[in-house]
């Protein structure tokens, strides 16, 4: 119902664990990378066959969905299919930008660019939105980073605008590549993929926990059987904290 001979990755799930959203690379021979969103709903405890997500997909490239805790906001990434053209009339600032859409009734609104406060002329991707609705974590290879790609975060101000994005620092980021960040609903547990921390091969998954002083602890490799010699990334924990979804090339 979820997987196919194509590549699937970047899962997202609503807090009630009833709607599953993910990215599929459709490998259109005319387009180097053609990613779209698919959704599946749980019926009698089983995921129903997935279908394309209406209202958000375009002839362009969409990926890395992240849902708010109530499932009413969708953050995602769209990438250029031409200079400044992100598909469906969307405009952006860099090679890939973060967009958002709101669910009204059973339909998603037109996606909106998160703006220059979040997006730059570089590559911004793979958002994760905290359950309290105050912090957006994402991945960027923009200026001021420590490696190939770093994890950043921005905090929502009282007036509804976003504060200046902050790099998560050398405890989390390395000279290598950090990606597929996910903030657990508890707001104190951060999961992410990296090839810069000591690992088992390729991209591995790590967890870091915030202490009472607000400092993130040293990342811990999640170990086998989560991590393997292959690339393992984009882990997601359900709202109750007892099921993990992840993508792997094993």
Cβ–Cβ < 8 Å for 232, 215: no
Report whether pLDDT(83) > 80: no
Instruction: List pLDDT tens digits, range 174-206.
Output: 999 999 999 998 999 999 999 989 888 788 999
Confidence of residue 169 (pLDDT cuts 50, 70, 90): very high
Instruction: Identify which of 217, 226, 222 has the alpha carbon closest to the alpha carbon of residue 247.
Output: 226
Query: CA-to-CA distance for 173 and 148, rounded, in angstroms?
Result: 10
Cβ–Cβ < 8 Å for 128, 151: no
Q: What percent of the chain has pLDDT over 70?
A: 98
Cβ–Cβ < 8 Å for 99, 77: yes
Percentages helix, strand, coil for the chain (3-state, rounded to 5) are 0, 45, 55
Instruction: List pLDDT tens digits, range 49-64.
Output: 999 998 899 888 899 9
Query: CA-to-CA distance for 245 and 220, rounded, in angstroms?
Result: 18
Instruction: Give CA angle at 203 (197, 206), nearest 5°.
Output: 55
Encoding tokens for residue 189?
Answer: 């547990």
């Amino acid at each position: 119902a979820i997987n196919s001979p194509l590549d699937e990755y970047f899962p997202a799930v609503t807090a009630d664990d009833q709607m599953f959203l993910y990215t599929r690379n459709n490998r259109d021979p005319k387009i180097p990378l053609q990613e779209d969103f698919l959704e599946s709903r749980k019926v009698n405890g089983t995921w129903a066959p997935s279908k394309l997500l209406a209202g958000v997909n375009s002839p362009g490239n969409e990926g890395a969905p992240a849902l708010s805790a109530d499932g009413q906001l969708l953050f995602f990434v769209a990438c250029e299919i031409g200079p400044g053209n992100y598909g469906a009339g969307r405009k952006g600032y860099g090679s890939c930008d973060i967009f958002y859409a709101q669910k009204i009734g059973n339909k998603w609104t037109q996606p909106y660019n998160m703006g220059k406060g979040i997006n730059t002329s570089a590559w911004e991707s793979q958002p994760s939105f905290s359950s309290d609705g105050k912090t957006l974590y994402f991945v960027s290879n923009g200026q001021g980073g420590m490696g190939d790609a770093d994890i950043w975060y921005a905090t929502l101000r009282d007036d509804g605008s976003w504060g200046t994005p902050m790099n998560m620092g050398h405890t989390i980021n390395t000279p290598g590549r950090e990606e597929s960040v996910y903030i657990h609903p508890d707001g104190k547990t951060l999961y992410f993929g990296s090839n810069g921390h000591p690992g088992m091969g390729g991209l591995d998954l790590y967890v870091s926990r915030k202490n009472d002083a607000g400092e993130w602890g040293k990342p811990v490799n999640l170990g086998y059987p989560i991590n393997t010699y292959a690339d393992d990334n984009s882990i997601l924990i359900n709202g109750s904290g007892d099921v993990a979804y992840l993508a792997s090339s094993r």
